[in-house]
Amino acid sequence: MLLFFAMLFLATAIAGFCAFVIFWPLSLVHLRDRHPDLRGHIGDFSFLNPKALSWLLLGRYREVRDRSFTGLATPARIALLVIIGGLLAAGLLWLVSILFPALGRV
């Protein structure tokens, strides 16, 4: 049963990844087109740049006073949090099933 829930959390992380792949590039294109001065904050190749992802995750994107941009970046941040939470929960349940095999058979 634990591994079933771990797979559900993994599926949740995959769904978060799908949402992230939709909203984060749209946010980056919006930044490129309307706020080119912010390129120094997030770097050149920003899609998987750790600096840009931490900028998004910590909510520093709210400093940009553009409602269109924050309307795109907020779902990207939520999707990133869902990815991280889903992977952590799946990993934790997998680890519990390895350490306590009797719990997995219930």
* Residue range 36-50, pLDDT digits in tens: 888 777 877 778 889
What is residue 49's three-state secondary structure? coil
Q: What is the pLDDT of residue 1?
A: 84
Task: Give pLDDT tens digits for 65-104.
Answer: 899 999 999 999 999 999 999 999 999 999 998 998 887 6
Structure token digits, residue 48: 């998987």
Mean pLDDT of 33-37: 88
Burial letters 56-92, b for 16+ CB under 10 A, else e: beeeebeebeeeebbebbbbbbebbebbeebbebbee
Whether residue 66 contacts residue 35, with contact meaning beta carbons closer than 8 Å, is answered with: yes
pTM: 0.90
How many angstroms separate the CA atoms of 99 and 65, rounded? Answer: 48
The boundaries of the domain holding residue 53 are 2-104
| Number of domains the chain contains | 1
Give 59's pLDDT tier (boundaries 50, 70, 90): very high
Ramachandran sector of residue 41 (left: φ over 0; alpha: ψ -120 to 50; beta: rest) = alpha
Given a cut of 90, whether residue 27 has pLDDT beyond it is yes
